[in-house]
Each structure stands twice: as C-alpha cells, then as structure tokens.
Amino acid sequence: MTAFNGTVLVAGATGRTGEWVVKRLQAHKIDFHLFVRSGEKALRLFGPEVIDKLTIGSVEHAEEIRAALHNSTAVISAIGGNVTDPAAPPPAAIDRDGIIRLATIAKEEGVKQFILVSSLSVTKPDHPLNAYGQVLTMKLEAENEIRRLFSEPGYSYTILRPGGLLDGPPLQHNMQFDTGDRITTGVIQRSDVAEAAVISLFTPEARNLTFELIQKEEAPLSSLVPFFAEIHS
C-alpha cells in the first residue's frame, strides 16, 4: 500500500457524503480541491482555510468542470441528484450526463484516477428507486462510461455501490464488500463510504473495481483495507 501524492478534486463536497470525503482526506493528510455549487456552504462546513481550494460550479457546465480540475490528479465524485425535489434537475442531467461530462473532461485534463460513489442495485431496472426518473439506470449508464474511459493502461477507476446511507462515525462496523450487485439490501455509514473511497486512492486491490458495500455487526476498526482483500480471495 502506497501513500497518495497528488491533489484530489472532490465533486459534490458539500453533500452529506461529500462532506465526509473531505474529512477523511484531511484525516489521511491528502491534498484536495472542492467543486461545489455553494461557496458559502463550503466555508460553513469546512472553515475559511478552504477558501483557496474552492471552485464554484456545476457538472452541468463543461467550462466550470475544466476550471475545477486544474492540477488535480484524481477525482472523487460524491454527486447525486435530488430525486425528491421536483425543481431539481432530473437524474438524467446529473447522475448520468453530469457525471459522464465530469469523467470525460477529467481524462482530457490528465486525471489518471476516477472514484465514483454510485448505489446498490443499479443493475436492477425494476427497483422502486427507479420510479424517480430512472435514477439507478442513470447511475449505471454513468458507471459504464467511467469503466470505459478509465480502464485504459495508465488510468484506473473505482466505483462504490453503497447500501442505504446513515450518518454515524466511521470505522465502527465490520463490512461486507462484494461484486456483481448480489447484495439486495443493507445500510452503511456515509463516513465509511467516504473512507472506502479515499483509501481507494492508494489501495491496489481497489483499482479497476466496481463493488457493493454494506455494514455488518459493530466492531471498532483501524482500517477498511482488509475488506478489499476479501473480494479478491
């Protein structure tokens, strides 16, 4: 396991999962830049010390993405559309087209590693969540494009498909990591999803991996890295 040297662009940093991604990058002492819709919210969440690490914008706009990616070597996307708000852009605009736009421009700008927080059950079109603008199908289409773009030699991707998201602290539960979208239900702390995303930056077993993750019984942990090895065993 090697330490990560570089700057990570966090897309969706002011969302509830994105906020934890930033906290875990700080815990691992990894440099970051934030791509957010609201600078005011970012400063409220992370303090004035991030003012030089902000780009304001949206994945709907290519030129804003390009500005945000300046000097980044990796991207962690914790973006998800608000499917319950009728005034928000539909999942096709954010969870598919926005993510694909972000990934495409990231590769053009020299980013070598792309980490996406997706969702459990994206391969199940009849899932009830798909009643909201086919959100799971839109996420799967974005996943497919990221796998295509970042599976070439010299690049890598990691796609995380968490269960239902909770708001507790990290490293307090054993995990189940699996592949093939075989886990039908389960929950996980956003903080653990963020931790898994961050350690994917420097964990070889996470390279070019799409995996599902849910929590199991309570157990204090020092690292989630061993759970990646279970996938490959």
Which CATH number belongs to the domain containing residue 104 in this structure? 3.40.50.720
- In-domain check, residue 2: no
Q: Does 233 score more than 70 pLDDT?
A: no
- In-domain check, residue 199: yes
107-147 pLDDT tens trace: 999 999 999 999 999 999 888 887 878 899 999 999 999 99
Whether the pTM exceeds 0.85: the reply is yes
* Reported confidence tier of residue 14, pLDDT bands at 50, 70, 90: very high
165-211 pLDDT tens trace: 999 999 999 999 999 999 989 999 999 999 999 999 999 999 999 99
Axis crossing angle, helix 39-46 with helix 16-27, rounded to the nearest 10: 50
CB neighbour burial string for 68-95, b if at least 16 within 10 angstroms, e if fewer: bbeebbbbbbbbbbebeeeeebbbbbbb
Phi-psi sector, 89: left (phi>0), alpha (psi -120 to 50), beta = beta
- In-domain check, residue 1: no
Non-local (6+) Cβ contacts of 92 within 8 A are 133, 134, 138
pLDDT of amino acid 50: 95
Number of folded domains that form the chain:
1
Give me the domain span that covers residue 221.
7-232
**195 phi and psi, to 5 degrees?**
-60, -45
CA distance 156 to 75: 11
pLDDT of amino acid 199: 97
pLDDT of amino acid 62: 97
